[in-house]
Amino acid sequence: MSVQVWTYIMVGLTFSIYIGIAIWSKAKSTKEFYVAGGGVSPWANGMATAADWMSAASFISMAGLISFMGYDGSVYLMGWTGGYVLLALLLAPYLRKFGKFTVPDFIGDRYYSKTARIVAVVCTLLVSFTYVSGQMRGVGVVFSRFLQVDITTGVIIGMIIVLFYAVMGGMKGITYTQVAQYCVLIFAFMVPAIFISFQMTGNVIPQLGMGGTLDNGTYLLDALDGLSTELGFHEYTTGSKSMIDVFAISLALMVGTAGLPHVIVRFFTVKRVKDARKSAGIALLLIAILYTTAPAVAVFSRINLINTVSEQPYKEMPSWFSNWEDTGLLKFEDKNQDGVIQYVADAQINELTVDRDIMVLANPEIANLPAWVIALVAAGGLAAALSTAAGLLLVISSAVSHDLIKKVVKPHLTEKEELWYARLASVFAVLVAAYFGINPPGFVAAVVALAFGLAASSFFPAIVLGVFYKKMSKEGAISGMVVGILLMCFYILKFKFGFFDGGLEAVAGLTTEWWFDISPEGFGSVAMLVNFIVAIGVHWIVKKPAPEEIQQLVETIRIPSGVNKPSNH
Amino acid sequence: MKQEQHILYWKQNLKYLLILLSIWFVVSFGFGILLKEELDQFQIMGFKLGFWFAQQGSIYAFVILIFVYMRLMNRLDHKFGYEDPEENN
């Protein structure tokens, strides 16, 4: 059977599973809609969190990015896993004990202030919308390459599926589809990785194969360092970023991960505080399977790519080469007219441009794996993108229906009405996301940095202070969040958009002016520190510690026993 | 009495956090970034050590840290009688 037929079978099969689960798990109350009734088992929540977290970026782009960045790619590996340690130790257990529905719920109640809640809602919406548009794009890319439909149709098909189970099932539907999606995506990621590892090094475990030897006895990584320097690239195991920037980006991604509302809210769904800790561990374990394999895949595919194309005649390229040329993600331009591909670092001589996003998707083809494996990767990419999109849409809809409408605009809403608003809000969110998926803003990369930066510079300090500093006042917390966010936005506008220096063309020239040599991607760590300093400073100056009953509330959050089901008070 | 218990429990929790977060910092920012070049002089199997920590070791350590924290806290909850029964809901 051809790749095409296999892809239809795999995608059709997985999609029917998702829809089946959605019908089975229809949400009947707001409690079920927002937090799946608060009765999800730690394993199910761990799997759902892992699928929620691992997006199209983790599945499709990350290994590709690393294979071009080498050591510098470590920022993603450490940054997107280390955040779970912070989450498990500093946030998840306490937020579960607090036991409401959303992150703005916590900020609003802990800081006894509607203003704080609204600031939190604005941040939530900003972070989640920027994030979700990237996911829809991922869906479009997979559809257009593997099902030969155009990207717009791909996005619309994806949207209908998500709409179906997110609107009907709410958090409950999303959780159980995400469990299925985790299984699909991890299987789809591991199978080709194991195949290729065995092919190249004779070791079936990619994590070990990465340190293995080639047929001629040289270590894989040494061989790759050699190849890279020969072609003029930097040595693979040594980076080209400055140490302080690697440090700052890793920290910003870690803290940003711990502050992302769609990740935090997953820990509201388990039964007890104990389960929140356990499911954070399980989630990271399941994530680590992919994250420790990705750098191996990066090495394998880099070597395979170089060996396949470098100094080889264009006419003898295998069929995957022209397939990807058709999508425009792979380009060959024969500058010296010799019919041979020169793939080198020097832009004047280099004739091949490879989009980093295609490495994972093209990897099985480059390694000549069977058709069903290639189809599996397509289904996995879709699972990764859809699961994350659904989680984000839920956060958006609950921020609107619960935090904005129920808590601010119309406090007397009945539960039934609120449920309708929640569904309406998710339909609206899906439509906006679809629009961005079809007409992606040209600055997707810039906004993703912004999403992590915003989460790092707003939520993380506010929640940590809220739990660990019980006298912390609303004045301090609100000023910290506002200054943190504004500083982050300013930095992105200045150094990612060239807003103050004459537009995007100026951006490249501004890199020498970065504060402390830190790139906009890493600036979230600085903005986070500033948030902490401003919050504590203002708190000391204003001298109005949190009222007694709030301090009592913090005391109870710190003790794990006596968890109630999340209530709509 | 109850108040004192709360304080004891919280202090012990903070102590665990301090220790575990120090390890978190050392394996990632320490071994993977700040000391990377020094550690790269050692090669184990096919890996330079600093590079291995940055792309593999730190992640394994993160997983272990969370499970260790879970164990420690479960024991602490048990000691102080702060557990919720299985059929709480």
Q: What pLDDT is recorded for position A446? A: 59
If DSSP codes are grouped into helix, strand and coil, which group holds residue A270?
strand
Give the per-residue pLDDT at A481.
92
Task: Using 70 as the pLDDT threshold, list the residues of chain A that sit under it.
Answer: 145-146, 440-449, 564-569
Question: Residue A219: helix, strand or coil by DSSP?
Answer: strand
Q: How far is B1 from chain A (nearest CA, A)?
A: 15
Of the residues A72, A75, A237, the best mutation for testing chain B's interface (the one with the most B CB atoms within 10 Å of its CB) is: A237
pLDDT grade, residue B13 (50/70/90)? very high
Q: What is the pLDDT of residue A443?
A: 56
Query: B25, B28, B69: which to substitute to probe chain A, counting the most A Cβ within 10 Å?
Result: B28
Disruptive mutation site among B2, B21, B36, B56 for chain A (greatest number of A CBs within 10 Å): B56
pLDDT value of residue A226: 84
Best CA proximity match to B68, nearest among B17, B28, B32 = B17
How far is the C-alpha of A377 from the C-alpha of A356, rounded, in Å?
Answer: 16
Which chain A residues touch B12 with a CB distance below 8 Å? none
> Considering just the CA atoms, what is the radius of gyration of chain A in Å?
24
Q: Is A210 exposed, middle or buried (0-12, 13-18, 19+ CB in 10 A)?
A: buried
Residues of B in contact with A250 (CB under 8 A): 28-29, 32-33
- Other beta carbons within 10 angstroms of residue A62's beta carbon come to 26
C-alpha angle A81-A86-A91 in degrees, rounded to nearest 5: 130
Kind of pairing, strands B43-44 and A330-332?
A: unpaired
**Structure-token pair, residue A339:** 């019919």
Helix (H) or strand (E) holding B48: strand B47-48
Which of A264, A263, A276 lies closest to A560, judged by CA?
Answer: A276
**What confidence score (pLDDT) does residue A8 get?**
86
| Span A430-483, pLDDT tens digits | 888 888 777 766 555 556 667 888 889 988 999 999 999 989 999 999 999 999
Contact A211 B69 (CB under 8 A): no
Q: Distance between CA atoms of A156 and A159, rounded to whole angstroms?
A: 5
**Mean pLDDT, all residues of chain B:** 88
Give the CB-side neighbour count of residue A427, counting CA atoms within 13 A: 7
Distance CA A23, CA A169 (A): 8
Question: Which amino acid does the sequence have at A238?
Answer: T
**Could you say which of A81, A89, A237 has the minimum Cβ distance to residue B69?**
A89
Q: How many CB pairs under 8 A join A and B?
A: 146
Query: What value of ipTM does the predicted structure carry?
Result: 0.93
Radius of gyration of chain B (CA): 18
With bands split at pLDDT 50, 70 and 90, how would you rate the model's confidence at B5? confident
A292/B69 touch (CB, cutoff 8 Å), yes or no: no
Name chain A contacts of B55, Cβ cutoff 8 Å.
66, 71, 73-74, 77, 292, 295
pLDDT confidence band for B88 (50 / 70 / 90): very low
- The minimum CA-CA distance between A440 and chain B, rounded to whole Å, is 31
Q: Which residues of A touch B83 (CB under 8 A)?
A: 274, 560-561
Contact B51 A555 (CB under 8 A): no
How far is B84 from chain A, CA to nearest CA, in Å? 5
C-beta of residue A396 within 8 angstroms of C-beta of residue A132: yes
Q: Which residue has the tokens 């409408």?
A: A405
H or E element that contains B44:
strand B43-44
**Residue A89 with chain B: CB contacts under 8 Å:** 17, 20-21, 66, 69
Place of tokens 């590709």: A64
Instruction: Please count the residues of chain B.
Output: 89
Rounded distance between C-alpha atoms, residue A452 and residue A438, angstroms:
23
pLDDT of residue A122: 87
β-sheet bridge partners, residue A354: A330
A221, A247, A565: residue with CB nearest B33: A247
Question: What is the chain A residue with the closest CA to B34?
Answer: A243
Where are the strands (E) in A308-413, listed by range?
330-332, 352-354
A45, A76, A78, best to mutate vs chain B, most B CBs in 10 Å = A78
> CA of B35, closest CA in chain A: separation in Å?
10
CB-side neighbour CA atoms (13 Å) of B37: 4
Give the H/E segment covering residue B47.
strand B47-48
The predicted structure's pLDDT at residue A561: 80
DSSP output for A222-256:
HHHHHHHHHTTPPPTTS-SS-HHHHHHHHHHHHHH
State how far the Cα of A314 lies from the Cα of A303, in Å rounded to an integer: 18
SS3 content of chain A, % helix, strand, coil (to 5): 75, 0, 20
Q: If you ran DSSP here, which 8-state letter would residue A448 be given?
A: H
DSSP state letters, A462-483: HHHHHHH-TT--HHHHHHHHHH
Domain boundaries of chain B, sorted by first residue: 20-80
d(CA A481, CA A528): 9
Tracing tokens 């997985």 back to the chain, one arrives at A14
Answer for the pair A188, A380: CB distance below 8 angstroms, yes or no: yes
Nearest beta carbon to residue A212 from set B46, B60, B89: B46
B62 and A81 within 8 Å at the Cβ level: the answer is yes
Q: How far is B32 from chain A (nearest CA, A)?
A: 8
Residue A219: list chain B partners with CB under 8 A: 45-46
CB contact under 8 A, B70 and A278: yes
Question: Contacts of residue A288 in chain B, CB cutoff 8 Å?
Answer: 59-60, 62-63
d(C-alpha B12, C-alpha B73), whole Å: 9
What average pLDDT does the segment B70-82 reach?
A: 90
Q: Which residues of B touch A (CB under 8 A)?
A: 6, 9-10, 13, 17, 20-21, 24, 28-29, 32-34, 36, 40, 44-48, 51-52, 54-56, 58-60, 62-63, 65-67, 69-70, 73-74, 77, 81-84, 88-89
Bridge partners, A219 (sequence order): A213
In contact, A105 and A543? CB cutoff 8 Å: no
DSSP string, A185-226: HHHHHHHHHHHHHHHHHS-S-HHHHTTSB-TTS-BHHHHHHH
To 10 degrees, the CA torsion angle through A457, A462, A464, A469?
140
pLDDT digits (tens, 9 = 90+) for A484-511: 999 998 998 888 877 777 777 777 777 7
Nearest CA in chain B to A251: B29
User: What is the model's pLDDT at position A125?
Assistant: 86
Closest CA to A474 of A117, A113, A181, A120: A113
Chain A residues inside the 8 Å CB shell of B84? 271-274, 560-563
Q: How far is CA A363 from the centre of its chain?
A: 21
Contact between chains at B34 and A247 (C-beta distance less than 8 A): yes
Torsion sign across C-alpha atoms A433, A79, A367, A353: positive
- The answer to whether B28 contacts A243, with C-beta atoms less than 8 Å apart, is no
Taking every pair of Cα atoms in chain A, the longest distance, rounded to a whole number of angstroms, is 79
How far, in Å, CA of A63 to CA of A358, rounded?
10
Q: B72: which chain A residues are within 8 Å (Cβ-Cβ)?
A: none
Higher pLDDT, B37 or A291: A291
The token pair that represents A227 in the structure block:
């190849």
Residue A228 — φ and ψ, nearest 5°?
-60, -50
Residue B43 bridge partners (DSSP): B48
Buried/exposed code over A246-282 (b: 16+ C-beta within 10 A; e: otherwise)? bbbbbbbbbbbbbbbbbbbbbbbbbbbbbbbbbbbbb
pTM score of the predicted model? 0.89
User: Of the spans A92-106, A205-219, B7-21, B71-85, which averages the highest pLDDT?
Assistant: B7-21
Q: What is the pLDDT of residue A149?
A: 76
* Helix, coil or strand: residue A8: helix
